[in-house]
Amino acid sequence: MDGVIRLISPSSPIRRSTPLSVEAASASRRADDQVLLRVDSINKQYADQAVLSDVTFDIEAGQIIGIIGPNGAGKTTLLEVLAGILPAEASDVQWLGTPLPPSRRREAMFYLPDGVRPYQDQPATRVLSFFADVYRRSADEVASAIEAVGLTPVLQKRVHSLSKGYGRRLMLALGLLTPHPLLLMDEPFDGFDLRQIREIVGVLRKEVTKGRTLVLAIHQLRDAERVCDRFILLADGHVRGVGTLNDLRARTGIVDGNLEDIFLALT
């Protein structure tokens, strides 16, 4: 049957012919190994220029992970390679200890790109309904997602006429309607003011409490510090540090340093 969504369990090996079942995030919590996603040595080149070099890290379930780095660090490329929508020279990814080839990444994760305004001639309601129908969401679930991101005032507006902030809210609502245990988001706070960022952080936190894991690519260090549990510091396509803020402080020896100080020390 076409289009089967199968959430991946730690017990079932990933084979083309075998349907993957089940309770990903909760299973992972029960498991001794808390690693949801293991990324081992991603390499990506454009012509002769290496954009990602030997990028390796782990993602644990039920956390908000921030991929932190300046513009051009390779954050978007990393997310797209992870999501399987950009080919890479090497991209060894394991989901709960089982290899996850690029063609099957969409079964485990959903990626919300930056700067995308999907279906611009359609009203926001119709775009939401499309996602809700594909993923068989109930009217209550759709209403809940709309309410959570504050999209109500613009539901009947066409996507091309939405402001940057509402465009972001629409994308976030689409992300909330997807069922995947891992949600990748590129610059989710771009276009929001401080108050709105706090609102959205609340929405993301609530999502994590429901068992989802979020990976956010953020270039604003203060925003990242506010929302993320763990950080992957990326510069020039290399991972410069991975861990919680305290881990990174310990590694750099900057006891009271903020993320900005640590990032500057490591890059």
* Binding residues for another protein (CB under 8 A): 1-5, 7, 21-26, 80, 83-87, 102-103, 106-107, 110-113, 115-123, 125-126, 129-130, 133-136, 139, 141-148, 152, 155-156, 174, 176-181, 207, 210-212
What is the rounded distance in angstroms from the CA atom of residue 155 to the CA atom of residue 157? 6
Give 32 or 121: the residue with its C-beta nearer to another protein. Answer: 121
Give 126 or 222: the residue with its C-beta nearer to another protein. Answer: 126
Q: Residue 232: beta bridge partners?
A: 67, 242
What is the rounded distance in angstroms from the CA atom of residue 84 to the CA atom of residue 124? 27
Give 73 or 128: the residue with its C-beta nearer to another protein. Answer: 128
Report, in Å, the least distance between residue 40 CB and another protein. Answer: 18
Give 146 or 248: the residue with its C-beta nearer to another protein. Answer: 146
Give 55 or 224: the residue with its C-beta nearer to another protein. Answer: 55
Give 80 or 223: the residue with its C-beta nearer to another protein. Answer: 80
Report, in Å, the least distance between residue 161 CB and another protein. Answer: 13
Report, in Å, the least distance between residue 94 CB and another protein. Answer: 18
Instruction: Check: CB of residue 32 under 8 Å from CB of residue 49.
Output: no
What is the rounded distance in angstroms from the CA atom of residue 175 to the CA atom of residue 65? 16
What is the rounded distance in angstroms from the CA atom of residue 71 to the CA atom of residue 230? 20
Instruction: Check: CB of residue 203 under 8 Å from CB of residue 161.
Output: no
Q: What would the DSSP string read from start to end of 1-37?
A: -TT---PPPSSS---TTSPP-S-HHHHHHHSS--EEE
Report, in Å, the least distance between residue 230 CB and another protein. Answer: 19
Check residue 85 and report its DSSP letter.
Answer: S
Report, in Å, the least distance between residue 13 CB and another protein. Answer: 19
| Contacts of residue 188, Cβ cutoff 8 Å, sequence gap at least 6 | 112, 168, 172, 200, 204, 216, 218
Closest alpha carbon to 184 in 53, 80, 38? 80
Report, in Å, the least distance between residue 252 CB and another protein. Answer: 35
Give 139 or 255: the residue with its C-beta nearer to another protein. Answer: 139
Report, in Å, the least distance between residue 154 CB and another protein. Answer: 10
Instruction: Check: CB of residue 149 under 8 Å from CB of residue 223.
Output: no
What token pair was written down for 265? Answer: 């020390």
